[in-house]
Amino acid sequence: MRGRGGKSKKSVAQVYTEAAEQDVERIFNNEFREELRNRGRLHFEKIIGENAMFLQQDLRLTTSQLNEYMKQEITRTLQEEFAKYEESITDAKQLAIDSITKTQEVIEQQRAALSEQLQKQVEAEKENVLKRFDENMADIVNHYVLAAIGNQIDLSDQLEYILGDLDANKQAIIEDIRNGA
């Protein structure tokens, strides 16, 4: 579309576009842009401040929860360790009791064995003494009777009778000696 004088006509849209660009330059001048930047900064700072406050609250809550969790875990761990420690002490105590019991049993067995051995030795010694007494009874009695009456009585004739009587009562004499009579 050519108009008079060879100039082309601008379309209505182009005219409005150019006018809008000029108005934009006039409306959105450097002062207005600076004002928008300042408002944007203030709004951004406000949002940052609010978010920092929320972040602080969340951090405090998380710290509190973490502290509580740590207390619970430490308490649980300590209780488990104390339970294990108590169980170990109980086991050690039982082992000590078992060891003492076994030692007492062994000592009692040894005491019984020694007592029995000593009793056997005493009995054997007693039997030896009685056997020697039995073997030498006639000589012993003869010696003491002769020592008691000396040379005043002649027992040679009665010695046979006395020895026979002693021999007849030999078992009763041995029983009296054994019983301490």
- Write down the pLDDT at residue 4: 47
Q: Which of 138, 136, 127 is nearest to 177 (CA)?
A: 127
Query: What DSSP designation does 152 have?
Result: S
Residue-level length of the chain: 181
Contacts of 8 (CB under 8 A, 6+ apart): 1, 2
Q: Which of 86, 67, 68, 88 is nearest to 78 (CA)?
A: 86
- Write down the pLDDT at residue 150: 62
Question: What is the pTM (predicted TM-score) of this model?
Answer: 0.40
Name the least confident of 3-7, 9-13, 36-40: 3-7
State how far the Cα of 103 lies from the Cα of 112, in Å rounded to an integer.
Answer: 14
Average pLDDT, the chain: 83
- Write down the pLDDT at residue 120: 93
- pLDDT confidence of 115, banded at 50, 70, 90? very high
pLDDT in tens, 76-103: 999 999 999 999 999 999 999 999 999 9
